[in-house]
Amino acid sequence: MLARIAPPLFIALAVSYWLTLFLPAWPGEPVHKALPMLLAAWTLAAALPRRTGLPLALGFVFAAAGDAFLAVDRQALLIQALASFLVTQLAYSVAFVHRAAPLHERLVARLAAIAFGAAMLAWMWPGLDEFRLPVTAYVAVLALMTVLAAGVGDRLGRVFAGAALFMLADSLIGVNRFVGEFAHSERIIVAIYTTGQYLIFTGALRVFGRPAAATDPRGAPS
């Protein structure tokens, strides 16, 4: 029941938050922004087997924390937000590796993720200064998460699409901070990021909710 109700409720909460970005800031904004991720965490922990449900739930909890940090102050708390998202990516990677195709498969998608990460890092590099080492490590983990997501599910479904959008959104946060701000950046980034998280959430419910015996090592139906 929870797994059926949670996805439309996630959409309702996420869209209602996005619409508030056209209004003046208000005190409840950080909580409102975090609610869809907390709902996803609760649902995944309850609906999925422990070895995948718990790391995914942990990832969504830290995503909620990162969202709250950015809602409070996008500039002053950016490092705390990115640290939270780093834990999210590591937690997702732990879950993805359980049902991912071998690394030599689906090379086009995997190499595209690596190439995109490298291109974004090169673009930001001149403005990174003392942040070069931590940002390089962050981009590496982000690319790893996306590479692993490419092997999850069948025929590069929702989980990979969500991870790719998550990677794009985080890259745009970096561009906005280290290259230059662009118009409507918060609305654009939030829309991309939230869509990506929704796809990871619903894709995980579909893929990881299957009994392991019903899938081959690549996560496709046997």
pLDDT in 10s for each residue of the chain, 222 residues: 888 999 999 999 999 999 999 999 899 999 999 999 999 999 999 999 999 999 999 999 999 999 999 999 988 998 899 999 999 999 999 999 987 778 778 889 999 999 999 999 999 999 999 999 999 999 999 999 999 999 897 665 899 999 999 999 999 999 999 999 999 999 999 999 999 999 999 999 999 986 544 444 444 433
Counting every residue written for the chain, the total comes to 222
Q: What angle do CA 113, 90, 172 make, to 5 degrees?
A: 50
Integer Cα distance of 197 and 10 in angstroms: 10
Predicted TM-score (pTM) of this structure: 0.90
Q: Is 113 exposed, middle or buried (0-12, 13-18, 19+ CB in 10 A)?
A: buried
